[in-house]
């Protein structure tokens, strides 16, 4: 994936500052910045490590200020912003950005051509930055300045007297431990050069995206010193920042990681080659590669899925929504089974955790849908792997506990009523995925009987009935209950005149807002609706909610609709589920669209054209090579939210699986 820059224009424009790259290490850590290597948000950093102690993600190495000095003139490869000043003033000498096996940059200045690449080492808190001097008519010096933050990734640091300035020389580099209780940082180069200590603070770096989002946006960073490395044509220099001393040659470390990635790319190719069209093959490769960013093992070795970069951690709901696309469709079936098995072991009172603390000692059981999505994820696992044995041994016992607690009643006023429908929550509670809160109150009150919750409930009960028959477990034969729920669902949610489903039934009143939650009543394997009702739901969603980048969360005709997701946290939260577009819903829309299609092949062609257009236009904006969390409800549907969202990527992967002609998907 390549982005070429117009050499005649100033490259410091907003367009390029709004394009970001991301590298991950399979441990929840990452490296990330803009294409111009100008940090524009607090979450940017070259070494962001997910630590066991102190717990959580920390920006350790914020940035490298790297430059080439030729004949007394200094040209910068990275950029930064200070109050009223963008450096370098003349703009960047970046000419090309390429996302291959890692982010790569090409710079040209005064006859010098340099290629730079950034790569995280899988399974380690180690970032490598490589410089290849491909053309250099005269002798030159590569100057590299490492700027240290050493803070939680969602905070900022100011100059302080607590930082320990002691620097210790090691082979081809230095170490420092800026604060007690924090890990030692090792910075090394692949060539033998001295490190020049300076020990100075730089003040007032500006992060423009934090400013736009209503947060504090100034930070001070510490510079311990710098490297001055003589270079000429053909020189290769690698700079490493790590939490461990690197005792192998850095080129050997680089080559080993590159080979690992090429092997992984070959495995992905075997999936992509099942598509006849080269554009589809390319898109599938890019999506699965993006999906790998989310599959991690925590510092305590728990397998899970990061919900999104930069600021999300692992969330139970997001994990289960994302699991089929990221694991079972993408060739990571055993990891997917491990995640399902581990999550099932966390069951309490019929609930599954939606949030884990950084040290994993505390969990939040504050959703109604996470446990129901567990049933759906198991269905998807069977679809793609056919592994019934692991369901019987590991998952069926968990599913039975969930059913018993939901039927008899559990926390948060979750219970099955006399008509078989599932009630959840109370005044002020947010238990569904539309959970934005402003001023301590839900933006969208969805307590009572939510349409997607009851669609998921019906699917779970039907699936349990199916499994009980397979496993000879008559206690969970639900013939009569299934008929009861089906009738109650239609009586409660179906709006006959307009032929669609209301959103929430509460206090004897149905919220008739047109929202995407109704699509679950058609997309799930077991639908509580009759076939003639499916088309009404799909038609309503297509007419009011379908955009080129996903489904709106509210019809534009609704007086509560907000078409732009922007501004400070208050403004964003008010719009989060009031019109903002979410790509993850596309997979469920595709399930439903194919279900009602009279001409299934024509329907597949429609979805194929849709996903091609989506990826073609989006994969080189916002997070390059990533799929954003949300988009504006109004055209031109700007990408918003975090730059890389697990369920967004997973939804598009599963869309491709649905339109493939391979039985059961891939």
Bridge partners of 415, per DSSP, are 423
Q: What architecture does CATH give domain 2-246? A: Distorted Sandwich (2.70)
- Kindly tell me the burial class for residue 48, based on how many C-beta atoms sit within 10 Å of its own C-beta (0-12, 13-18, 19 or more): buried
What pLDDT score does 479 carry?
Answer: 95
Euclidean distance between CA atoms 316 and 139, whole angstroms: 55
Do residues 627 and 618 make contact, with C-beta atoms less than 8 angstroms apart? yes
Is the per-residue pLDDT at 78 higher than 80? yes
What pLDDT score does 6 carry?
Answer: 40
| Predicted confidence (pLDDT) per residue in 99-139, tens digit | 989 999 999 998 899 999 999 999 999 999 999 999 998 88
Average pLDDT over residues 631-658: 97
> Does residue 267 sit in helix, strand or coil?
helix
What pLDDT score does 9 carry?
Answer: 36
| Predicted confidence (pLDDT) per residue in 349-388, tens digit | 999 999 888 777 788 999 999 999 999 999 999 999 999 9
Is the per-residue pLDDT at 645 higher than 70? yes
| Predicted confidence (pLDDT) per residue in 123-180, tens digit | 999 999 999 999 998 889 999 999 999 999 999 999 999 999 999 999 899 999 999 9
Is the per-residue pLDDT at 13 higher than 70? no
Is the per-residue pLDDT at 314 higher than 80? yes
Q: What is the DSSP string of 171-227?
A: TTEEEE--STTSPPEEEEESS---EEEEEEEEEEEE-HHHHHTTS--EEEEEEEEEE
Percent of the chain exceeding pLDDT 90 equals 91
Of the given ranges (8-22, 284-298, 300-314), which has the lowest mean pLDDT?
8-22
Q: What is the DSSP string of 34-84?
A: ETTS---STT-EEEEEEETTTTEEEEEEEEEEEEEEETTEEEESS-EEETT
Q: What count of other Cβ atoms lies within 10 Å of the Cβ of residue 99? A: 22
Mean pLDDT (the chain) is 94
Split at pLDDT 50, 70, 90, the class of 2 is low
| Predicted confidence (pLDDT) per residue in 38-65, tens digit | 999 999 999 999 999 999 999 999 999 9
Residues 6+ positions from 57 with CB-CB distance below 8 Å:
28, 29, 48, 49, 50, 51, 152, 153, 313
**Closest to 222 (Cα-Cα) out of 176, 174, 172, 153:** 176
Residue 565 is given by DSSP the state: -
Rounded-to-10 torsion of CA 308, 311, 313, 317: -50
What pLDDT score does 661 carry?
Answer: 60
| Continuous segment of H or E residues that includes residue 134 | strand 126-135
What pLDDT score does 356 carry?
Answer: 85
Residues 6+ positions from 277 with CB-CB distance below 8 Å:
none
Is the per-residue pLDDT at 492 higher than 50? yes
Residue 325 is given by DSSP the state: I
3-class SS letters over 341-399: HHHHCCCECCECCCEECCCCCCEECCCCHHHHHHHHHHHHHHHHHCCHHHHHHHHHHHH
Q: What count of other Cβ atoms lies within 10 Å of the Cβ of residue 392? A: 14
Is the per-residue pLDDT at 560 higher than 80? yes
Do residues 35 and 19 make contact, with C-beta atoms less than 8 angstroms apart? yes
What pLDDT score does 596 carry?
Answer: 97
pTM score, whole prediction: 0.95
> Does residue 662 sit in helix, strand or coil?
coil
Residue 135 is given by DSSP the state: E
Do residues 449 and 429 make contact, with C-beta atoms less than 8 angstroms apart? no
Split at pLDDT 50, 70, 90, the class of 92 is confident
Domain parsing of the chain, residue ranges: 2-246, 545-666
What pLDDT score does 11 carry?
Answer: 45
Average pLDDT over residues 565-572: 93
Euclidean distance between CA atoms 333 and 323, whole angstroms: 9
């Amino acid at each position: 994936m390549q982005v070429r820059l117009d050499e005649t224009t100033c490259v410091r424009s907003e367009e390029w500052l709004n394009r970001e790259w991301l590298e991950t290490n399979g441990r929840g850590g990452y490296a990330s910045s803009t294409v111009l290597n100008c940090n524009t948000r607090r979450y940017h950093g070259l070494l962001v490590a997910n630590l066991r102690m102190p717990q959580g993600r920390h920006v350790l190495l914020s940035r490298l200020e790297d430059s080439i000095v030729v004949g007394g003139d200094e040209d910068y490869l990275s950029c930064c912003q200070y109050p009223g000043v963008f450096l370098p003033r003349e703009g960047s000498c970046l000419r090309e950005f390429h996302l291959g096996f890692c982010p790569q940059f090409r710079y040209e200045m005064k006859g010098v051509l340099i290629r730079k690449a950034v790569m995280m080492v899988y399974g380690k808190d180690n970032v490598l930055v490589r410089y290849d001097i491909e053309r250099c008519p005269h002798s030159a010096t590569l100057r590299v300045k490492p700027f240290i933050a050493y803070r939680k990734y969602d905070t900022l640091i100011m100059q302080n007297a607590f930082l320990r300035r002691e620097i210790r020389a090691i082979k081809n580099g230095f170490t420092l431990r800026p604060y007690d209780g924090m890990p030692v940082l090792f910075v090394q180069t692949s060539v033998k050069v001295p490190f020049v200590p300076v020990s100075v603070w730089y003040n007032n770096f500006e992060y423009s995206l934090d400013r736009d989002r209503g947060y504090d946006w100034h930070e001070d960073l510490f510079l311990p010193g710098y490297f001055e490395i003589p270079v000429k044509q053909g020189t290769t220099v690698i700079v490493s920042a790590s939490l461990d001393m690197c005792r192998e040659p850095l080129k050997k470390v680089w080559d080993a990681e590159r080979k690992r990635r090429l092997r992984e790319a070959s495995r992905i190719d075997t999936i992509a080659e099942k598509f006849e069209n080269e554009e589809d093959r390319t898109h599938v490769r890019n999506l699965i590669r993006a999906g790998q960013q989310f599959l991690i093992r925590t510092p305590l070795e728990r397998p899970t899925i990061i919900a999104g970069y930069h600021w999300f951690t692992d969330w139970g709901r997001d994990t289960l929504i994302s699991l089929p696309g990221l694991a079972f469709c993408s060739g990571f079936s055993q990891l997917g089974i491990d995640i399902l098995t581990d999550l099932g072991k966390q069951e309490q009172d019929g609930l599954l955790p939606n949030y884990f603390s950084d040290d994993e000692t505390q969990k939040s059981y504050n959703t109604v849908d996470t446990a129901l999505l567990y049933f759906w994820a198991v269905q998807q696992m069977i679809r793609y792997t056919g592994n019934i044995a692991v369901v019987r041994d590991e998952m069926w016992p968990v599913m039975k506990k969930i059913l018993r607690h939901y039927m008899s009643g559990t926390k948060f006023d979750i219970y099955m009523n006399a008509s078989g429908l599932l009630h959840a929550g109370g005044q002020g509670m947010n238990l569904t995925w539309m959970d934005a809160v402003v001023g301590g109150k839900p933006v969208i009150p969805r307590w009572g009987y939510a349409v997607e919750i009851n669609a998921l409930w019906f699917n779970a009960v039907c699936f349990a009935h199916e499994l009980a028959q397979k496993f000879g477990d008559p206690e969970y034969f639900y013939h009569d209950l299934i008929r009861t729920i089906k009738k109650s669902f239609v009586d409660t949610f179906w709006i006959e005149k307009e032929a669609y489903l209301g959103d929430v039934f509460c206090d004897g009143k149905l919220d008739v807002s047109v929202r995407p939650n109704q699509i679950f009543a058609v997309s799930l394997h077991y639908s509580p609706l009759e076939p003639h009702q499916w088309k009404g739901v799909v038609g309503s969603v297509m007419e009011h909610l379908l955009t080129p980048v996903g489904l709106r969360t509210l019809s534009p005709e609704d007086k509560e609709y907000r078409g732009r997701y922007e501004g400070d946290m208050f403004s964003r939260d008010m719009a989060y589920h009031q019109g903002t577009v979410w790509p993850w819903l596309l997979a469920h829309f595709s399930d439903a669209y194919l279900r009602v299609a009279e001409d299934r092949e024509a329907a597949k062609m429609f979805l194929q054209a849709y996903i091609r257009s989506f990826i073609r236009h989006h994969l080189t904006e916002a997070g390059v090579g990533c799929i954003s969390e949300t988009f504006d409800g109004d055209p031109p549907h700007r990408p918003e939210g975090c730059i890389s969202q697990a369920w967004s990527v997973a939804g598009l992967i599963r869309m491709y699986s649905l339109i493939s002609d391979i039985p059961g998907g891939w």
